[in-house]
Chains A and B, each alone.
Chain A
Amino acid sequence: MSRLIKVLGTGCPKCQQLTALVEEVVSENQLDAKIEKVEEIADIMKYNVMTTPALVVDEQVKLKGRIPAKSELLEMLKA
């Protein structure tokens, strides 16, 4: 089943970094996933995050306010 991965962030450098990392991990591991960027602040707030960037996998907040290590990210995207 394809996963829906959302990167929440208002466009700051760290958010772009996270998006790039997610894309990298997904393509390297050939994960079946759709990546979406959520930049509208009102939409971001629906997930109750106060620090960006945040990572949402299948509507579940997995991470907020920091950039994970590659291995950690892979775990989150796989689990």
Chain B
Amino acid sequence: MFSWIQRMADWLVFDVFHLNPEMHLAKALNFFFYDSVKILLLLFVVVFAMGIVNSYFPIDKVRNYLSRNKLYGLEYLMASLFGVVTPFCSCSSVPLFIGFVKGGIPLGVTFAFLVTSPLVNEVAIGLFLGLFGLKTTLIYVLSGVLLGTISGSILQRLKLERHLTPWVKEVLANAQREQEAFLLEKQPFGKRLPVIWREVLDILKGVTPYVLVGIAIGGLMHGYVPDGFFERYLSKDNPFAVPVATILAVPMYSNAAGILPVVQVLVAKGVPLGTAIAFMMGVVGLSLPEAMLLKKVMTLKLIGIFFGVVTLCIIFSGYLFNFIL
């Protein structure tokens, strides 16, 4: 499917630039061109597809669905699945949180959504497809959904409502399962398309520089780091690799776009995939800026518990992948 991109990269590097295919520089450049074109293309397709889904499936509908229907335990899975199709920027996490709580949605279900949504988003999926292929992407998406579902259920069992900040408790006390009226945009596809299109361009414009830098760094490592280099430190037999990778990743901020191309090279050079995915999830799913924002609605203790449970789940899934893959 992508061989034409490879031919293009070969032609550019070997014929146009006249570089010797045996040279490190030539290999690195070739890798850079091939990966950039392929990844940006896939990113475009995925972001566009998700944009269409999101246009018909806005967050208000999600909230109303969750607060209206009794789902007998499935609500955690549903919230987590909704998290996949609804992107939100981290600065929306507080309004989202309050909006959900106000609609009478249990705290654990809200958490399920909050965990999965940043973890499995259009940019991460597009990059995963381009870098790791379909199978690994599916594993990543599935594990992101399960992670949200499981952490949400655990957090609900812990009865954390008392650790919310006072004004949120007040909101909670007045919560009601009602259908909030919302801006219904009944528009034909032709009218939605320009809006979706602009969003797609905005997202791509935002992430492209990071992707290119990430691929450039990846390309350099690809050409210069010997195969199996990381295996010495981060092999499957090292029991500390997964927790250390995850804990290092949590304070790092979410640039899935910049970090994924580098992670791919790490995997190619011998880091086990489970360890790499755990690292990825730590970077994308949890971050200090997010914790700062959540301070408005949660006490520090609750943020600590939330991050702790999610971190443990990530570590567990890292081990699991190393074991089954």
| Chain A contact residues, CB within 8 Å of chain B | 9-12, 14-15, 41-42, 44-45, 48-52, 61, 64-67, 69
Contact = CB atoms under 8 A, between A and B. Distances in A.
Interface stretch (B26-34, B84-92, B216-224, B244-252): B84-92
14 contacts: A10-B293, A12-B92, A41-B95, A42-B167, A48-B180, A48-B182, A50-B96, A50-B98, A50-B99, A51-B59, A52-B91, A52-B92, A61-B183, A69-B194
Contacts of A45: 95, 98-99, 102, 171
A64 to B, nearest CB: 7
Interface in B282-323: 293, 296-297
B75 to A, nearest CB: 18
A64 B54 CA distance: 13
A9 B182 contact: no
A44 B297 CA distance: 14
Given A50-B60, A51-B59, A52-B92, 15 more contacts: A10-B91, A14-B89, A15-B91, A41-B94, A41-B95, A41-B296, A44-B95, A48-B182, A50-B63, A50-B95, A51-B88, A51-B95, A52-B91, A61-B183, A66-B195
Nearest to A11: B91
B237 interface: no
B199 interface: yes
Interface in B175-209: 180, 182-183, 194-195, 198-199, 202
A64 B183 contact: yes
Nearest to A61: B183
A46 to B, nearest CB: 11
Contacts of B89: 12, 14
A12 B94 CA distance: 12
Nearest to A14: B89
Interface SS, B side: helix
A24 to B, nearest CB: 17
A73 to B, nearest CB: 12
Nearest to A60: B183
A71 B171 CA distance: 37
Contacts of B194: 69
A44 B95 CA distance: 8
A65 B92 contact: yes
Nearest to A13: B91
A12 B91 contact: yes
A7 B95 CA distance: 14
A10 B289 CA distance: 13
A4 B46 CA distance: 39
Contact of B91 (A9, A49, A50, A69): A9
Nearest to A51: B92
Given A14-B91, A41-B98, A45-B99, A50 B183 contact: no
Nearest to B198: A69
Interface centre among A9, A10, A15, A66 (most CB of B within 10 A): A10
Contacts of A12: 89-92
A74 to B, nearest CB: 15
Nearest to B183: A61
Contacts of B167: 42
Given A41-B98, A50-B96, A51-B96, A65 B91 contact: no
A52 B183 contact: no
Nearest to B86: A51
